[in-house]
Amino acid sequence: MQKILITGANGQLGSELQELTKDKSNYIFTDIAQSGTILQLDICDAAQVDAFICEHKIGGIINCAGYTNVDGAESNIDLCYKINADGVANLAKAARKHDSFMVHISTDYVFDGTRKRGTYKESSACHPNSVYGASKRKGEIAFRRSHCKGIIIRTAWLYSTYGKNFLKTMQRLGAEKKSIGVVADQIGSPTYARDLAKAILKIVPQIGDRRGEIFHFTNEGKCSWFEFAAAIMVYSGLDCKVNPLSTAEYPSAACRPAYSVLDKSKIRETFSVETPWWSSALKECISRS
């Protein structure tokens, strides 16, 4: 059975993949530090990546590793690019060398978010307006230039019962405060990491000889961060009022897309994956926590 490497195993998506594949012995999980059954692998070390893939006879890679602190990236530019661009290049080059496939996870932040309606398609022009978005776009380019087998999946607003994310932050604040303010003029699609993990596992056997093709996956529908937060309070049974704020009222180090709804028709039609409605997915996630 083909061995599949999953990087960034301690993150939200990596953790969901661990749970969904716990009965399968052909998945190997790694992160920057070894812990329990998770092995150590620094994707920024090209020689280490090549040796690991060779030693473990890896047939496929699902790259969940990444520098995801959007605001922190503005002051940690070198580290952000090292992980999100150079690390991807190292994995892709090794995958090409050893004839392995690769699924790379990217982001809606490759777009500037100036669109007012409709959706961003895979072919839409990329204009990242943050260090994080630019580093992820550079990682996409490195992946495609390697010509290794595999695909890129862009996602957005990822949350889970694992790791640090918007859902957990809102639940913590909702339990501590009577009211909070949340940005209401940034629109996107919340994505339950478990739904993305299920989609990836369904896609893996169907990749074939695709090389660098891009797909979009999020939960269906759209909302603002304010609407997302309000739904979290209701579904979590928290008596905390959510007040709408403008982006100008909540300044941050990084510029975020004002509108970044992704078109998912291509991934549904190509791989027959489901994109559940965002509020239904949120209810399911909260019920599991």
In a domain, 171, yes or no: no
pLDDT of residue 115: 84
In a domain, 113, yes or no: yes
For residues 5 and 10, what is the distance between their CA atoms, to the nearest angstrom?
Answer: 13
pLDDT of residue 117: 84
pLDDT of residue 257: 95
In a domain, 81, yes or no: yes
pLDDT of residue 1: 83
- What digits encode the pLDDT tens for the residues 178-225? 999 999 999 999 999 999 999 999 999 999 999 999 999 999 999 999
Q: Which residues contact 153 (CB under 8 A, 6 or more apart)?
A: 103, 104, 105, 106, 196, 199, 200, 203, 214, 215, 216, 217, 267
Domain with residue 46: its CATH number is 3.40.50.720
In a domain, 206, yes or no: yes
In a domain, 31, yes or no: yes
In a domain, 284, yes or no: no
pLDDT of residue 116: 78
Neighbour-count burial for 259-288, b at 16+ CB within 10 Å, e otherwise:
bbbbbbebbbeebebebbebbebbeebbee
In a domain, 19, yes or no: yes
In a domain, 9, yes or no: yes
pLDDT of residue 235: 98
Domain count, the chain: 1
Domain, as residue range, for 34: 3-164+193-220+261-276
- Tell me the catalytic residues: 132
Q: Spell out, as residue ranges, where the chain has pLDDT lower than 70.
A: none
pLDDT of residue 45: 98
CB atoms within 10 A of CB 223: 20
**Strand pairing category for 187-188 and 223-224:** antiparallel
CB-CB contact of 257 with 113 (8 Å) = yes
